[in-house]
Chain A
Amino acid sequence: MTFALLVQSAIIGTSLGSIYILMALGLTLMFGMMHIINFAHGAVYMLGAFVIYYVFFQGGAPYFAAFVVAMIVLGIFGYLVERSIYRPIRGGIEPTLVALIALTTFLQAAGYPVFGQLDKHVPPVFPGTRNILGVGISIERLMIIPIAAALVVALYLFINRTRLGAAMRAIEQDKEAAALQGVNVNVVNGLAFAIGFALAAASGALMAPIFKLDPMMGEQPLLKAFIIIILGGLGSIPGAILGGLMLGLIDSIVATALGAEPAFLLSFVFIILLLLFRPTGLFGYAP
């Protein structure tokens, strides 16, 4: 593998990792607070991409306006899912999982009659390529990195510098104690759902102009997000960031060097080895 090829695949891997991070952040946030694995995350990613298709491509709105619309609409949807599904059956992890799987199946199945049977596409928002260290990289992919980084910083500031963020951290540590201190657990859980869904929608919205759109498009990113949160440690935000970057780089560099199949296998081998030595993942902790 030449140096140029290594640089090119590392940049592509970083951009891919940025998307993985956004997907995994929402997932790990919800797991950390409520101990649920949101199986609907992939379907929300898909819906975020379709909001871009309709609002930006079909509706003619500016891309970033459509991006914000996707996050807000799916954020509200997340809050409604918390109210209508999670809250009524709270306490039962299995019923919640089953309900979220049912929601995913419904959204994917409804996608075909609603969005059509053929793959959809969104035209490029940032066309062209840029030469970096002698290699060409699509500007579209480069732009993912700062946008994802901005969202990660915004989430970090929200969780660490605001009262609602402090309430989230309190619930994550001890839900009963947080409630005794006056934290409205219902409202904060609803907010966590909204943020988680909005981040998944942001990932889908970022990928819409790069890939094609279909109702099943969220399955692969969801699988990657699961791998990342296990790798980084369930419930750990720094773990999701590091895990996302590592997986993006493995996917890109190993696949470039050895092929797509070895890269896919290697990501699992890497996780198995890591979990043998650190069963809680990179930044996870034993309950």
Chain B
Amino acid sequence: MRSRSSLVHAALLAVAGLVAAGPGSARAADVIKFGVSTPLSGPAAPWGIPHKQATELIFEEINSQGGLEVGGKKYKLEVIAYDHKYVIAEGVATVNRLIAKDGVKYLSILGGAVVKANEEAVNEGRVLNLPLAYADGLVSPKNPYTFHSFPAPPETSTFWKWIKQNHPGLKRVATISPNDDTGWWSIKVETAFIQKLGYETVAKEFFERTMTDFNPVLLRILAQKPDIISVLASPAGSVGLIIKQARELGFKGRFIHIGQVDTSVVANIAGKANVEGTWVHGFVQAPLPEKIKSWQARYTKKYGEWNATSIDFANPAFAFVAALKKAQSVDPKKVADALSIVEFDNLWGKAHFGGKDYYGVGNQIIYPMPFSEVKDGVATLVVQRAPEGLDEPRKLK
């Protein structure tokens, strides 16, 4: 017994020694860590899961080819992801953990309220942040390390021009959005845009993200007889309930979501027939270009199930990799400088960071945005448009 015990101890010591001083320490130096703080559970999980998975897939493909060469050295890319449940306190805790404990210098946070709560930590820590979030003042000169990687209402509102041209009979718009930074800013921007186009905004309502019974709010909205209900930045679960309950109350008009929402998740809750005709930005199921079909095949092979939200939520990873290649440095400042000038491919085409004319800083992603309409239960691409009037003519490299 004693000799067996000694052997076990010796083996454990050997393993501990290998872990402490072996390849781990050498490996750590060759890894670039990328933090992801995103909702992996709760109502916003349909956004958070593809955010994490798309980033992991892109990094895994690079790693499988030997890694990324930066400054003459090969690096493996590693995703460290935490679930913040779209709760601000959890978002702050996960970002603190990523920066302080995991030592990340680059991250991507999802959710306007969560990103705003972490502004100070990101700026003071000089951490490069590539968020997917809507919030007033997020893209601004005071946040030099934040490069917003998803089209926001100042960009996506451009879709209303297409609606105006193709559905001139629709005139009265009601808006409903979460009662937080994300919702307030989205409604403010969209309302200003559509009023300039001549639409009448007949109702503006806000709801707590925990709300499930929208009947009272919808009764107020429907009393104003809108032609379109804009659900702006609402998550898929809430959109499903809003559509279901509005249809039960007799609403026959259109819904529009210029944020991003998985219409298949919405249809599960609202019923397929109720979602028909809904317009949505950034979620397309068909027809998909060859490049996206290839992405779909790889994504489905890895995760078993296709998620079209991953198309646009791959932006932070594409932008980050392009900037690393451009900067040929792992210094966040140099990577940030590279992001300002690099032109790169995302899944929809050529993308860059710009928008200085609108935001005062060129840290907003710009590319031809896809808009779709749900037809026979499928989010079908109707138009692809770049935002207008946000970006000064500039020389990209």
Contacts and interface: CB of A to CB of B under 8 A. Distances in A.
Interface of A: 2, 5, 8-9, 12, 16, 112, 117-119, 121, 123-124, 129, 136, 138, 140-141, 211-212, 214-217, 219-220, 251-257, 259-261, 263-264
Contacts of B215: 9, 12, 141, 252
5 contacts: A118-B46, A212-B237, A251-B213, A253-B216, A256-B220
Contact of B240 (A123, A212, A216, A260): A212
A219 B212 CA distance: 11
B42 A260 contact: no
B223 A214 contact: no
Nearest to B219: A256
Contacts of A117: 40-42, 45, 49
B217 A260 contact: yes
B42 A214 contact: yes
Contacts of B212: 211-212, 217, 220
Contact of B210 (A9, A220, A261): A220
Given A2-B223, A16-B213, A121-B268, A261 B179 contact: yes
The 7 A-B residue pairs whose C-beta atoms are closest, nearest first, are A255-B216, A138-B248, A119-B237, A211-B212, A256-B216, A256-B219, A121-B269
Given A129-B250, A217-B212, A261-B179, A119 B217 contact: no
A259 B220 contact: yes
A93 B215 CA distance: 39
A274 B211 CA distance: 26
Classify the interface of chain A: helix, strand, loop or mixed.
helix
Q: Which of A212, A254, A255, A264 has the most CB of B within 10 A?
A: A212
Nearest to B245: A138
Contacts of A211: 212-213, 241
A214 B268 CA distance: 14
B200 interface: no
A251 to B, nearest CB: 7
B216 A12 contact: yes
Contact of A119 (B220, B250, B269): B269
A136 B249 contact: yes
A135 to B, nearest CB: 9
Nearest to B250: A136
B67 interface: no
Interface in B177-200: 179
Interface stretch (B120-128, B129-137, B201-209, B367-375): B201-209
Contacts of B286: none
Given A129-B248, A136-B249, A251 B216 contact: yes
A251 B237 CA distance: 21
B332 interface: no
A232 to B, nearest CB: 21
B110 to A, nearest CB: 14
Contacts of B210: 216, 219-220
A101 B131 CA distance: 35
A8 B219 contact: yes
Contacts of B49: 117-118
Nearest to A263: B216
B237 A260 contact: no
A119 B43 contact: yes
Interface in B249-274: 249-250, 265, 268-269, 271
A5 B223 contact: yes
A214 B217 contact: no
B216 A118 contact: no
Given A117-B49, A260-B206, A136 B248 contact: yes
Nearest to A216: B42
Nearest to B248: A138
Interface string B42-56: 110110010000000
A286 B171 CA distance: 59
A129 B249 CA distance: 8
Contact of B265 (A118, A215, A251, A261): A118
B35 to A, nearest CB: 19
Interface in B26-50: 40-43, 45-46, 49
Contacts of A257: 220
Given A216-B42, A260-B208, A9 B219 contact: yes
B209 to A, nearest CB: 11
Contact of A212 (B206, B208, B241): B241
Contacts of B45: 117-119
A129 B248 CA distance: 6
A112 B41 contact: yes
B43 A214 contact: yes
Nearest to A217: B212
B202 to A, nearest CB: 15
B250 to A, nearest CB: 5
Nearest to A127: B271
A217 B43 CA distance: 10
A112 B207 CA distance: 24
Nearest to A251: B216
Nearest to A252: B216
Q: Which of A129, A256, A263 has the most CB of B within 10 A?
A: A256
B228 to A, nearest CB: 20
Nearest to B215: A12
Interface in B214-231: 215-217, 219-220, 223
Given A5-B223, A211-B212, A259 B248 contact: no
Contacts of A121: 240, 268-269
Nearest to B238: A212
Contacts of A254: 216
Q: Which of A112, A123, A215, A219 has the most CB of B within 10 A?
A: A112
A2 B211 CA distance: 25
Given A119-B269, A211-B212, A212-B269, A260 B205 contact: yes
Nearest to A16: B213
B33 to A, nearest CB: 24
A256 B223 CA distance: 10
Given A119-B240, A141-B215, A212-B212, 17 more contacts: A9-B216, A9-B219, A12-B219, A112-B41, A118-B45, A118-B46, A118-B265, A119-B46, A211-B212, A212-B240, A212-B241, A220-B210, A255-B220, A256-B217, A256-B219, A256-B220, A260-B206
